[in-house]
Amino acid sequence: MSDKENQSKKVEQLEQFKVNDKDKYMTTNQGLKVSEDEFSLKAGERGPTLMEDFHFREKMTHFDHERIPERAVHARGSAAHGVFELYESIEEYTKAGFLTDTSRQTPVFVRFSTVAGSKGSPDTARDVRGFATKFYTDEGNFDLVGNNMPIFFIQDAIKFPDLIHAVKPEPNSGIPQAASAHDTFWDFVANNQESAHMSIWAMSDRALPRSYRMMEGFGVHTFRLVNEKGEAHFVKFHWKPVLGTHSIVWDEAQKLGGKNTDFHREDLYTAIEQGDYPEYELGVQIIKEEDEFSFDFDILDPTKVWPEEEVPVQIIGKMTLNQNVDNFFAETEQVAFHPGHVVPGIDFSNDPLLQGRLFSYTDTQLTRLGGPNFHEIPINRPKCPFHNNQRDGMHRMTINKGSVAYHNNSLADNTPAPASEEEGGYVHYQEKVEGKKIRARSESFKDHFSQATLFWNSMADHEKEHIINAYSFELGKVVSESVQQQVVNMLAHINLHLAQSVAENIGVSKPTEGGSSVTKCSPALSQTTTKYTLQSRAVAVIVDDGFQGQEVHDILVDLKNKGVNPHIISDKLGVKEGKDGVKVEVDATFLTAESVLFDAIYVASGEQSNKKFKQDATYFVQEAFSHFKPIAATHDGKQLLSNAGVSNAKGVVTEDDKQAFVTQFAEAIKSHRFFDRELV
């Protein structure tokens, strides 16, 4: 690659590989123009197909091999391109160029995913979400392969196959898809109690994000940052969504699984197409090496958070996702992440989960992407040059010239040559390591419950209610009473009220002893402390002929100006006409759009409509109300709300004054949900 190309953004590099087939002649893969693509070559019009039909054979063979194995975990995902910009240099901690040079714009590719489900499973399953970012830096690719929860189920990578075997569909029946609500998963949790803390995160609203644009990301493990002087600090990475961290409710998630399997994928894709670019700020939590043992948890234990109140998150930059993929397979499917893809200035810790991941990710690509050259696939190539003596293998793309493919050599002046540290060579942090070979776990990893209680203590009332309901749902699906009881007994170590409530709901014995002495809480763990924004919120506007034309039109314009996306919903597609002749185009009908697809509902008319219209509109608002969504109505829409029994509650706006209506409704949309409706 020339110097100019080296400077080019990753997106420009990808351009070289893009192909547009429009307006071209059809050819075989050998470039031969094809004269016919509908009929195979036969011996006579009604005769057998001939072996010599190379065109048919090539087309069919390619089709027969179109699928590759889906990822063992995180099979279901969606991705986008973007850019990372640094607000302030953290050279005090690291020499990584993209974290020290504020003039740089680092191209990124981010893939979000669910963990347990197959490639075609619903986006809204109760699950952890993957949040994997590839930074194409000038010094090579750095992959931050994180999740939307800051901890993990297990403390040692050797248990990962067990965890995943337990959560995936049970091997005898292949059931259930994309769900942890079954015996083997909960049997695993009860018998591997290091999972206690992560299990409560997975039962919380965090497992039901409203959108990929509205969830946090975490590097999970403790990494190391190393500065120019060779000094190291421990670090945890955070992504904070600019739109805030928001969730949907369980009933909604389940319905969405059927109504729109692609709910999150579509949300991400559409937002980017519309210019509502998802943004996330990058934060770091830093702990000095000398403070390694100053906490009441082991900082190497991946089942522990560093409470933000104790170790503040320093915001250092922002990532903006601004371009969708052109080809889902080529980019989203073929991208290969690896926590071991690091750059000078970033190093590992001895977290035993991280250490094991450093093996697994390259290994898995060998099967998934069919050989050792997956780094040459366009989406995986670094944007900086790469040279070494690795050669050959399946699907090798580069044509490496010359006779020398070994080191040391004299015939090529001993090149490609390793670089010194000053020249940018990666030098591992020289941590002193000493110990006996031993299969064991540190005593300091043995407290599995204090932080689970910390999490519980930090939840708002409705969040606690959701956690109780989630455990009750999941354990309610478990067949083995012994497993149910074991999990409830485990919950007693987190909080007695939690354990007793779940026990009552699922009909097993209520633990009477247990509880925790932990009284601390960490407000940052509750989603109620997040940012509230209304940008790009989807509002269903229910309209029928005879609505207050100009007034509704003005309200919609005002809402749009505030950043909201209104969608006109009615009984039929086409145009609806207001009393004064003002017209609106219907975007979707009661048949194709349901309340679960929207953040808020505005009933602009409908009470004067026919019975079917009223029935459908009533169901629409009642369902939205039961999901605690903001609801608003003007004119005869108000009557519809009152007949539906959903007026006079928090988050229901029926203000007469137009300006006040818009202001109040906008505030309600911004509030996301009105959970106190649930608690009365």
The residues carrying an active-site annotation are 74, 147
Per CB under 6 A, the list member of 286, 353, 468, 483 interacting with ligand HDE is 353
Comparing CB distances to ligand HDE, the nearer of 336 and 492 is 336
Nearest to 113 by CA among 63, 53, 178, 176: 178
Residue 369 engages ligand HDE in binding (rule: CB under 6 A): no
What CA–CA distance (Å, rounded) separates 529 from 516?
Answer: 24
One-letter amino acid for residue 563 of the chain: G
CB 225 within 8 A of CB 233: yes
CB 564 within 8 A of CB 666: yes
Comparing CB distances to ligand HDE, the nearer of 325 and 483 is 325
Residues facing 209 on adjacent strands = 247
CA 197 to chain centre: 20
Residues facing 324 on adjacent strands = 80
One-letter amino acid for residue 485 of the chain: Q
Site string for ligand HDE, 312-351 (x = CB under 6 A): -----------------------xxx--------------
Instruction: Give the total of residues touching ligand HDE (CB under 6 A).
Output: 25
Comparing CB distances to ligand HDE, the nearer of 255 and 338 is 338
CB of 553 to ligand HDE, least distance (A): 44
Site string for ligand HDE, 466-495 (x = CB under 6 A): ------------------------------
CB of 387 to ligand HDE, least distance (A): 25
Helices (H), 477-527: 481-491, 496-506
The 10 Å Cβ neighbour count of residue 279 is 18
What CA–CA distance (Å, rounded) separates 576 from 1?
Answer: 58
Residue 166 engages ligand HDE in binding (rule: CB under 6 A): no
Q: Which stretch binds ligand HDE (CB under 6 A): 67-75, 377-385, 592-600, 667-675?
A: 67-75
Q: Which stretch binds ligand HDE (CB under 6 A): 60-68, 69-77, 283-291, 429-437?
A: 69-77
Per CB under 6 A, the list member of 1, 11, 41, 72 interacting with ligand HDE is 72
Per CB under 6 A, the list member of 10, 55, 71, 673 interacting with ligand HDE is 71
CB 622 within 8 A of CB 646: yes
CB of 268 to ligand HDE, least distance (A): 13
Per CB under 6 A, the list member of 107, 146, 283, 651 interacting with ligand HDE is 146
Tokens of 467: 């956690």
Per CB under 6 A, the list member of 40, 360, 647, 671 interacting with ligand HDE is 360
Q: Which stretch binds ligand HDE (CB under 6 A): 195-203, 352-360, 610-618, 669-677?
A: 352-360
| 11 burial level (CB within 10 Å; 0-12, 13-18, 19+) | middle
Site string for ligand HDE, 116-145 (x = CB under 6 A): --------------x-x------------x
Per CB under 6 A, the list member of 270, 322, 327, 364 interacting with ligand HDE is 364
What CA–CA distance (Å, rounded) separates 143 from 362?
Answer: 13
CB of 662 to ligand HDE, least distance (A): 40
Per CB under 6 A, the list member of 109, 135, 160, 201 interacting with ligand HDE is 160
Q: Which stretch binds ligand HDE (CB under 6 A): 70-78, 282-290, 595-603, 630-638?
A: 70-78
b/e burial code for range 55-78 (CB count within 10 A of at least 16 → b): bbeebeeeeeeeeeebbebbbbbb
Q: Which stretch binds ligand HDE (CB under 6 A): 175-183, 354-362, 394-402, 618-626?
A: 354-362
Residue 82 engages ligand HDE in binding (rule: CB under 6 A): no
Q: Tell me 178's DSSP state.
A: T
CB 484 within 8 A of CB 475: yes
CB of 136 to ligand HDE, least distance (A): 16
Q: Which stretch binds ligand HDE (CB under 6 A): 89-97, 359-367, 461-469, 488-496?
A: 359-367
Per CB under 6 A, the list member of 83, 116, 125, 157 interacting with ligand HDE is 157
Residues facing 132 on adjacent strands = 111, 145
What CA–CA distance (Å, rounded) separates 388 from 596?
Answer: 53
Per CB under 6 A, the list member of 55, 74, 375, 627 interacting with ligand HDE is 74
Helices (H), 18-123: 54-64
Nearest to 247 by CA among 533, 674, 673, 676: 673
CB 661 within 8 A of CB 653: yes
Residue 111 engages ligand HDE in binding (rule: CB under 6 A): yes
CB of 183 to ligand HDE, least distance (A): 23
Question: Which residues, 6 or more positions from 561, have their beta carbon under 8 angstroms from its beta carbon?
Answer: none
Nearest to 343 by CA among 283, 386, 392: 386
CB of 197 to ligand HDE, least distance (A): 13
3-state SS assignment for residue 242: coil
Comparing CB distances to ligand HDE, the nearer of 380 and 457 is 380
Of residues 185-244, those binding ligand HDE (CB under 6 A) = 220
Per CB under 6 A, the list member of 357, 375, 673, 677 interacting with ligand HDE is 357
CB 467 within 8 A of CB 203: yes
Comparing CB distances to ligand HDE, the nearer of 144 and 468 is 144
Comparing CB distances to ligand HDE, the nearer of 151 and 256 is 151
Residue 147 engages ligand HDE in binding (rule: CB under 6 A): yes
Comparing CB distances to ligand HDE, the nearer of 132 and 166 is 132
Residue 453 engages ligand HDE in binding (rule: CB under 6 A): no
Comparing CB distances to ligand HDE, the nearer of 289 and 363 is 363
Q: Which stretch binds ligand HDE (CB under 6 A): 4-12, 68-76, 98-106, 262-270?
A: 68-76
What CA–CA distance (Å, rounded) separates 207 from 520?
Answer: 23
Comparing CB distances to ligand HDE, the nearer of 335 and 452 is 335
What CA–CA distance (Å, rounded) separates 130 from 475?
Answer: 24
> Could you write out the DSSP letters of every residue in 89-154?
--TTT---GGGT-TT-EEEEEEEEEESSS-TTS-TTSSS-EEEEEEEEETTEEEEEEEESSSS-S-
Comparing CB distances to ligand HDE, the nearer of 113 and 204 is 113
CB of 584 to ligand HDE, least distance (A): 41
Per CB under 6 A, the list member of 78, 94, 113, 522 interacting with ligand HDE is 113
CB 317 within 8 A of CB 106: no
Which long-range contacts (C-beta less than 8 Å, at least 24 apart) are formed by 613-622? Answer: 613/544, 613/570, 613/571, 614/640, 614/643, 616/571, 616/590, 617/542, 617/590, 618/643, 618/644, 620/540, 620/542, 620/569, 620/590, 620/594, 620/595, 621/542, 621/595, 621/646, 622/646
CB 102 within 8 A of CB 354: no
Helices (H), 53-182: 54-64, 160-167
List interacting residues with ligand HDE (CB under 6 A).
71-74, 77, 111, 113, 130, 132, 145-147, 152, 157, 160, 220, 335-337, 353, 356-357, 360-361, 364
